Structure 1
């Protein structure tokens, strides 16, 4: 039941924040902060269950209760090491998202924190739902509050960005729902038992053509969310116009639900179809790495620049997943974590600069190191992390992905290494444009505040620890090779 309580805490905290804001906006902020902190502490405590589990390879928390038994729908939640790591990332970034919003959000504070906490609740549900209808329900809960965060608290073109985000993601959601229903009926026709339970559907035998079409419904939905080129078009607009916390949650968490969906659903449910489509998906992944990096280099809007780096970095995730290699899969999990931290930090930094300078145009910045040396130093750290500098977590992730991919797809792996060179070029260009060169602002600009320093220090320490000590994460997700027999190939 503890997993259900974790989601209920977020849902209740969102409602309480909304109600409390009528009396005191500050009280709403504290309720939101304490709510997410409570979930993070619970998630850390749950590691005791993992340590006590005999082989550390399976679902060490598993709870199922009837919901609509006549239709085979249950309230089934479970957690393994992979889900556990992603929940830790969710609540850690959730706390930072609340802190980011502390001074930035001045209007409709209660409704803002309601949407933020319900988005986090939806994301948490996605990572632990083992009933396909429950998974779809959490997927929708995750998307709708994020849409409100963009259109109500975003920048000048927030409505356009919000509508685009909603249309892209809802088209993917509809395809996924159709695939879920198709899988439900195929399994029911074979066994006589109609169920949406993940573990039952794993054993569904299908004709190759039927499996391919059902898989494509899932794959397109997750590819839009990842995002995979050419389904990435919504991302720069949504990132560019969202509030700082919205960009942090989008980059750090929502994109990761796409990778999680492919690993958790596409590979185990449709192994033969996944093998057949693997070369095409790796081609898309390599194209995303190069294309995202080139577009990042050409941007003058700081937030759009960072958004296109996400397209490039998520290309590595796609390459690693469809390499069917255990080392590459470990690199994928590391990339999911380190990208959430490093790119999330860059978006937080972009929000701080926007708050001070009232612009996102890097051509109008420059020389900010003189006024903001502390922020400049932190910017160097995360710029180097984004570029894949050794000792930082991103290097481990991308190195593992390329090493694993080389075993099965050496040509694609070699081409993908160009992404490392291009990431260094666009990262250094961003750093030079913003913090070096001639200063364009004559008015004094405040350096990083104590609250902002806490946020950036937490992200800095995390990215360095993952770079120096990646083994605990690798051990936690080692069981993925037992869940996915394809990884032995």
Structure 2
């Protein structure tokens, strides 16, 4: 059935209009290009914010779903009169709408952080907008083929951004990113093709109903293999140890403004895929590997925390911190109970906000101080008190200070973990203690110490302060009033638990 709403299409593809305008601006006019780079992110932010507010007021999101004929070929062997068909289908639920809003918010702030880019600025923002379209499309896609195409768009656009505007070893980082994520994409494509060939549909809602019911098209053994394949495909993106090395290179070599999106959103696509397709399509198989997920989550949590504790490069501290915090997502999913699943989703949102704030500050440090090496930093508090204060606050949020989002996500996830496996819960607490150790060590190395920065070093400007304050408002808002996220994801959590049998 054709559904005529164009709202989601406009939300996703609105950055294309900014790309068109960029063609008419000379590359030398960097100020105009940067203003367009900021303005081009606003339509998706305004639309997603409006939809999120309407949703919390009782708006039915199914009324904005889109479904149109797109591709048609061959015939489904089980029904001779039914062709293989891939429709252009977009739709959102509370969870995916929340991720779209988070993507739009971080993209706007990343566009501000990108003002420091000096070379080929027009090409940079063009690639930036393609990345934004891909990220928005991933969360709005309602069929697997469309999801895969948007997923690939993020891969290609980020590859060019890293390779062109990255650091000293940008080419190595770009190709490491392409190799690992290309492998993950190939594995994901095999799963999609297998499901399509067997069911004749790629509609996510239909597949969630069809594959999760008893007597579906796949035996329990095949379901387990497909789930493990999905776990590898999305585990590379998350990343799950030992598929993490590419991510370290990206965090260090990519522009910090882009790492805001990479750490805040792109890593979360792995979690989103496991939740939407892993649990959604194969709930019984997912329950059977829950102990494996708990173990993998514990390894991620402790491995990332231990390695973050010994790094001397601040970007690597934050990179290993992301590995560790994604372990909490895996622990929550492995718990397969109400608290665990909510905690995993809370952690996805919370870490997106906190990591974006940290890398926004890193972006300023790199521009003003020309280094993020902890051995070369120190005494920044005297020259840049505002930046030092925000850095300390962001660190407190990351280590789970009460009244901030990190505390809510970790508390909720670990309640679920303790209910599922007390031993893993007790061991996992060590990772939370190590988080406090490595974050405070890094922050104190930057802000205090015997070496004092020049007094003329420029502290945060008003635009930068406003951007960081925006993130801080939501970090504290989620910590004080987590209900606004809980209300968005409760339907998703309940649906997953019904599928698992909880």
1:271 has 2:252 as partner: no
- Greater mean deviation of Cα atoms: 354-363 or 477-486: 477-486
- The aligned counterpart of 2:10 is 5
Residue 177 in structure 1 maps to residue 189 in structure 2: yes
Residue 49 of structure 1: how far off its partner (Å): 4.6
Instruction: Work out which of the residue numbers 225, 245, 251 in structure 2 matches 1:233.
Output: 245
**Contact in 1 for aligned 2:311/2:317 (Cα 8 Å):** yes
Q: Tell whether 2:405 aligns with 1:426.
A: no
Contact 1:15 1:114 in 2 (8 A): no
User: Could you say which residue in structure 2 is the equivalent of 1:31?
Assistant: 36
Give, in angstroms, the shift of residue 458 of structure 1: 1.0
Shift of 1:14: 3.0
Structure 2 equivalent of residue 190 of structure 1: none
Q: What are the ranges of 5 or more consecutive residues in structure 2 without an aligned counterpart? A: 1-5, 74-83
The change in CA–CA distance for 1:167 and 1:219 in structure 2 (over 3 A counts) is: same
Match of 1:198 among 186, 200, 204: 204
Aligned length: 480
Query: Normalising to structure 1: TM-score of the pair?
Result: 0.95
Cα separation, partners in 2 of 1:294 and 1:48, compared to 1, 3 Å: closer
Q: Superposed, which structure 2 residues align to 1:366-405 within 5 Å?
A: 366-405=378-417
The verdict on how the C-alpha distance between 1:52 and 1:436 changes in structure 2, with shifts beyond 3 A counting, is closer
- Number of the residue aligned with 1:191: none
Structure 2 Cα separation of the partners of residues 214 and 323 of structure 1 = 20
1:87 to 78, 100, 115: 100
Q: Distance between the aligned counterparts of 1:119 and 1:61, measured in 2?
A: 23
Alpha-carbon distance, 1:18 to partner: 4.6
Q: Aligned with 2:41: secondary structure?
A: helix
Relative to structure 1, the CA distance from residue 52 to residue 362 in structure 2 (aligned partners, 3 Å threshold; closer, same or farther) is closer
Give the Cα–Cα distance (whole angstroms) in 2 for the partners of residues 261 and 310 of structure 1.
18
Q: Which residue of 2 aligns with 1:164?
A: 176
Residue of structure 1 equivalent to 2:78: none
Structure 1 unmatched runs, 5+: 188-193
Residue 56 of structure 2 corresponds to residue 44 of structure 1? no
Tell me how far apart the structure 2 counterparts of residues 311 and 323 of structure 1 sit (CA, whole Å): 19
1:241-262 deviation line (CA, Å, top 9, x unaligned): 0102111010111011111001
Question: In structure 2, how many angstroms separate the alpha carbons of the residues matched to 1:240 and 1:451?
Answer: 24
More deviation, 221-230/6-15: 6-15
CA–CA distance in structure 2, aligned partners of residues 17 and 248 of structure 1: 23
* Helix, strand or coil at the partner of 1:364: coil
Encode CA deviations 1:424-462: one digit per residue, 9 max, x unaligned.
000110011100111254563221112211111111111
Give the Cα separation in 2 of the matches to 1:219 and 1:292: 19
Tell me how far 1:216 sits from its aligned partner.
Answer: 2.3
Q: Secondary structure at the match of 1:66?
A: strand
- Aligned 8 A contact 1:285 1:316 in 2: yes
Q: 1:302 to 1:377 in 2, by over 3 A?
A: same
Pairing 1:65-464 to 2, within 5 Å after superposition: 65-70=68-73, 71-102=84-115, 104-187=116-199, 194-202=200-208, 203-204=210-211, 205=216, 206-442=218-454, 444-464=456-476
Q: State the 1:290 CA deviation.
A: 0.4
Q: CA deviation at 1:214?
A: 1.9
Cα distance in 2, alignment partners of residues 293 and 453 from structure 1: 29
> Normalized against structure 2, the TM-score is what?
0.92
Instruction: State the alpha-carbon separation in 1 of the partners of residues 36 and 46 from structure 2.
Output: 15
Q: How far apart in 1 are the matches of 2:175 and 2:362? A: 23
CA distance in 1 between partners of 2:397 and 2:58 (Å):
34
Which of 17, 20, 23 is the equivalent residue of 2:22? 17
